[in-house]
Amino acid sequence: MAFPQQRLRRLRAQEPLRRMLRETSLASDDFVYPLFLKEGAGGKTEISSMPGVYHHCLDSLLKELEDVSVLSIPAILLFGLPGSKDETGSEAYAPQGIVQRGIKAIKASFPDLMIITDICLCAYTTHGHCGIIENGRVDNDKTLSILQQVAVSHAAAGADMVAPSDMMDGRVGAIRTALDDNGYTELPIMSYAAKFASHFYGPFREAADSSPRFGDRKSYQMDPANAAEALREIALDIEEGADIIMVKPALAYLDIIFRAKEKFGCPLAAYNVSGEYSMVKAAAARGMLEERSVMMEMLQSIRRAGADIIITYFAREAARVLKGM
C-alpha cells in the first residue's frame, strides 16, 4: 500500500503522538560533564576558546558541582593542569597531584557524584605528547608503566572509573592488571577506544595546555579516514578488559558510533569534543544559529547513532533544557 492510503504525516500531526513515537530518548542520566582543575588557580578563569568552560581552583570547582548535582548529572570527567611539567609527566601520578587532591575533596562534599578521571600524560609532559619520548619517538611500552601508576594513583584517591585517552597499544590490559594487582578489581575502565587524530580538539588543547611541542599525534591517534581500523581498536580494548568503549570525536564520527554499537553491543560512550562545542557557541554568538535547539539536536543525534553515554561540555545547559529551566 502506498500513497494516498499511506500518509506518514498522520503520525506527525499531533504532539502527544509525536512524543509517544519518539525513537530516541535524551536525559541528564546520559551525560558526563568534563571539568578542568588547575594547580595554583585563583578562582575560575574562562577558557577563551570555550565560552562557559573554566579553569577551576578547587573551591570554584566544588561550587560548580553544586549545580551539577542539582541538575542530576550523574558523572564528571576530571582533567588536571599541574603546577609543573617534566619529561615523564610525573605530576600525573603524584599522590598529592592536583587530580588526586581534587578527587578526595570532591568525594568528601559530593559522595554520590561519579568521578571519572582522564588517564593521559599530555598535560603533564614538557613535550606535550601522550607518552614517554625515546629517540624522538613516543615509546609505547615505556609509557604503559607510567599509565599504570597514574591509574592506580587515581584509584587510591577514590576515583570511580578511569578513562585512558593516550592511545598506546596494550594500555587497557596494562591498566586492568595494575588495578587488579592493587585490589581495585571493581573499578571500571572506560577506554577512549577509537580516538581519532582530530582537529576538533583544538580548543581543548588551549584548555588543558596540552599541545604537542613538536610533531603531531598521528603516530598514536587514528587516521580520520579509517572505520575498519576503529572497529579493530575497539575489539582489542574489549578483549583487554574495557568495560565501556568510547568513540571520539562524536559528530563527525557518527558512523563509527553506529557500527561499533551494532557490532559489539557493549556500553558505548561518545565524546562531544571541544571543537564541536565551540563551533556552536561561536555561531550562536554571531546570531547564526539558535544555540539551545542546535545543542539538543546534536546530542540527540549522538544518542540516535548508538551512544549510551555522551561526554559533553553542554551537559549543564542540556540538563537545564530537559528540566524545562
- Alpha-carbon span 7 to 239, nearest angstrom: 47
Cβ atoms of residues 165 and 119 within 8 Å: yes
Cα gap 234→247, rounded to integer Å = 9
Minimal CB distance residue for ligand PBG: 204
195 tagged catalytic: yes
What kind and span of H or E run contains 37? strand 31-38
- Minimum distance of ligand PBG from residue 313's CB (angstroms): 7
- Residue selected from 118, 160, 237, 240 as contacting ligand PBG according to rule CB under 6 A: 118
Over the window 244 to 283, marking each residue x when it contacts ligand PBG by CB under 6 A and - when it does not, the resulting string is: -----------------------------xx---------
d(CA 213, CA 15): 54
- Of 47, 92, 115, 130, the one binding ligand PBG (CB under 6 A) is 130
Interaction residues for ligand PBG, span 196-235 (CB under 6 A):
201, 204-205, 210
Output DSSP code: residue 72: T
Residues 12 and 53 sit within 8 Å (Cβ to Cβ):
no
Q: Does 122 bind ligand PBG (CB under 6 A)?
A: yes
Given the complex with ligand PBG, which of 35 and 120 has the nearer CB atom? 120
> Hey, what's the cell of 220?
598514536
Pick between residue 12 and residue 30 the one whose CB is nearest to ligand PBG.
Answer: 30
Largest Cα separation within the chain, whole Å, is: 71
Peptide bond into 34 cis (omega under 30): no
The residue annotated as part of the active site, out of 44, 195, 261, 281, is: 195
Closest distance of CB 5 from ligand PBG, Å: 49
Is the Cβ of residue 60 or residue 210 nearer to ligand PBG in the bound state?
Answer: 210
Distance of closest approach, residue 205 Cβ to ligand PBG, in angstroms: 6
Smallest distance from ligand PBG to CB 320, Å? 20
Task: Indicate which single residue of 165, 191, 278, 312 sits in contact with ligand PBG (rule: CB under 6 A).
Answer: 165
Is 263 a catalytic site residue? no
Angle between helices 291-305 and 315-322 (to 10 degrees): 100
Q: Residue 256 CB, nearest distance to ligand PBG (Å)? A: 16
Q: Which is nearer to ligand PBG, 118 or 240 (CB)?
A: 118
- A 10 A CB-CB count for 232 gives 12
Q: What is the DSSP string of 172-193?
A: HHHHHHHHHHTT-TT--BEEEE
From 248, 261, 263, 281, the catalytic residue: 248
Q: Which stretch binds ligand PBG (CB under 6 A): 54-62, 118-126, 134-142, 253-261?
A: 118-126
In terms of C-beta density within 10 A (0-12 exposed, 13-18 middle, 19 or more buried), how is residue 226 classed? middle
User: Which one among 37, 75, 92, 120 touches ligand PBG, defined by CB under 6 A?
Assistant: 120
To the nearest 10 degrees (0 to 180), the angle between helices 58-70 and 98-109 is 40
CB of residue 227 to ligand PBG, shortest distance in Å: 19
Which residue, 258, 135, 116, is CA-closest to 192?
116
State which residue, 24 or 48, has the beta carbon closest to ligand PBG: 48
CB 171 within 8 A of CB 141: no
Nearest to 32 by CA among 84, 71, 87, 82: 71
Count CA atoms within 13 Å of residue 119 on its CB side: 33
Q: How many residues bind ligand PBG (CB under 6 A)?
A: 11
Minimum Å gap between C-beta 118 and ligand PBG is: 5
Binding site residues, ligand PBG, CB under 6 A: 118, 120, 122, 130, 165, 201, 204-205, 210, 273-274
Which residues form the catalytic set? 195, 248
